[in-house]
Amino acid sequence: MTTCTASPELIDDLVSANRILYNEAVVDGFGHVSVRHDRCDDRFLLAAGLAPAVVTADDILELDFEGNVHDAQGRRSYLERFIHSEIYKARPDVVAIVHSHSPAIIPFGVTRATLRPVCHMSGFLGFSTPVFDIRDSDGENNDMLVRSNALGKALADSLGNNDFALMRGHGSITVARSLKLVVARAIWAEMNAKLQTEAMRLAAAFGDGEVNYLTPGEAAGSMAINETVVDRPWQLWKEKAQRK
């Protein structure tokens, strides 16, 4: 791979994305966010193998779509970088990806409960959220990590044309056409999981068990309008993360 320096603005935004996702409790010591390179279309940017909260501009690595790191200078990449490389390969429309272990989402990957939009910020979730089960690709004895091109491809296949997928017993994948949007979606997915769990509890305790979800038309309509104003929450989240 030749040297091709990404714009300082993009690197700065990717550092902010790491800090925001930690500050908003989407990632902790683990989890990662990537974005397509803005000057070379054969690669993407992803932090070195660090906790997102401590990532700086010097930690941003360039990777190709086979998961190779360019000019690593001793920096190690994430074991699960193949999540990103294989989704970029399969989905030309995807510009940014978040992988997280955010906790409220996990129960939806291990039960028959389907994650669906219960509020107007989460229409992107859709109505038949895919669940990637690593056992289907890696057998009964595995370490739960997407640590190879083949497992990354299996995950990308499971995601299909959706914007969100669960990973059974592990976490989730969120994709979007911009970095700011993928950060917002990852935050809103976790929020939706919390709200849906509460709604299901209340429905079971006080109602007939039914939750009144958004209709597909409401999900599409609210998503279209929310996604035009994503700069506003981004500014708030960025400022909150910087104050820490």
CA 108 to CA 80: how far, in whole Å? 22
- Residue 80 annotated to the active site: yes
Report the chain's C-alpha Rg in angstroms.
Answer: 18
Question: Among 28, 30, 34, which residue's Cα sits nearest to residue 14?
Answer: 34
**Host H or E run for residue 152:** helix 149-159
Catalytic choice (62, 80, 86, 190) = 80
Q: For the chain, first and last CA: distance in Å?
A: 37
- How far from 146 is each of 70, 137, 170, 179, CA to CA, in Å? 20, 10, 10, 22
Q: Which residues are catalytic?
A: 80
